[in-house]
Amino acid sequence: MLHHRSAAGVAALMLVLGLGAPAVAHDGHDKKPAAAAPTVPGDPAIQEASAAVDAFHSALARGDTAAAAAAFADDALIFEQGYVERSKAEYAGHHLPADAAYAQATKYTLISRGGLVSGELAYVVSEGRTVGRYKDKDVDQLTLETAVLRRSHHGWQIVHVHWSSRSAPAKS
């Protein structure tokens, strides 16, 4: 059985789900955003898992940190901008309030989404753009999110999320 609290466990889970680890080279030039993994059109299971991710983001945008925290399993593993939090409680006590403040001050637009459900596990991958102003600074970021979810009696809950972002290309 996979132990999701280690990076190796998360990598193994992603391989089991078929996500794999693509080779990526960054040459410093802005490229077209990578396409998200395909979803099965109309697949109710991936729609439910995606809805759980959307509910988390909606709660953040409302500043409802209790609802945002409820999207996570107690033993969730959160990777954010090079940092790690090893439980829902740790995330709720550290980055969650700042994430909610950021989401309230900015506007997120989903660019593409994909995913896969395999039994009681799913992954949802999303690309988006966040714009606005936060802490007296303009924000224009391209964002990537990989969420791994587990279905339980509570519905779909996030057991792992990995976020990264970069500045959007300058407009010409």
121-168 per-position pLDDT tens digit: 999 999 999 999 999 999 999 999 999 999 999 899 999 999 999 999
Q: How far apart are CA 82 and CA 70, in angstroms?
A: 23
Q: Looking at the predicted structure, is the pLDDT value of residue 8 above 90?
A: no
Which tens digits make up the pLDDT trace of 11-20?
444 444 444 4
pLDDT value of residue 75: 97
pLDDT higher than 50, residue 36 = no
Pairwise CA distance, residues 153 & 52, whole Å = 14
Retrieve residue 15's tokens.
Answer: 């391989």
Q: Which tens digits make up the pLDDT trace of 39-93?
A: 445 688 899 999 999 999 999 999 999 999 999 999 999 999 899 999 999 999 9
The first and second tokens of residue 31, run together, are 């490229």
pLDDT at residue number 16: 44
Alpha helices in 3-162 (DSSP H): 7-16, 44-62, 65-70, 88-93, 96-105
Between 171 and 117, the more confident residue is 117
Dump pLDDT digits (tens) for 100-114: 999 999 999 999 999
pLDDT of residue 81: 86
Our measurement of the distance from residue 72's CA atom to the centroid of its chain's CA atoms, rounded to an integer in Å, reads 11
Q: Calculate mean pLDDT across residues 8-36.
A: 43
Name which residue leads in pLDDT, 43 or 33. Answer: 43
Nearest to 121 by CA among 147, 98, 101: 147
* Candidate CATH numbers 3.10.450.50, 3.20.20.70, 3.40.50.970, 3.40.50.10470; the one for domain 42-167: 3.10.450.50
Q: Count of CB atoms within 10 A of residue 27's CB?
A: 6
Q: pLDDT digits over 42-56, tens only?
A: 688 899 999 999 999
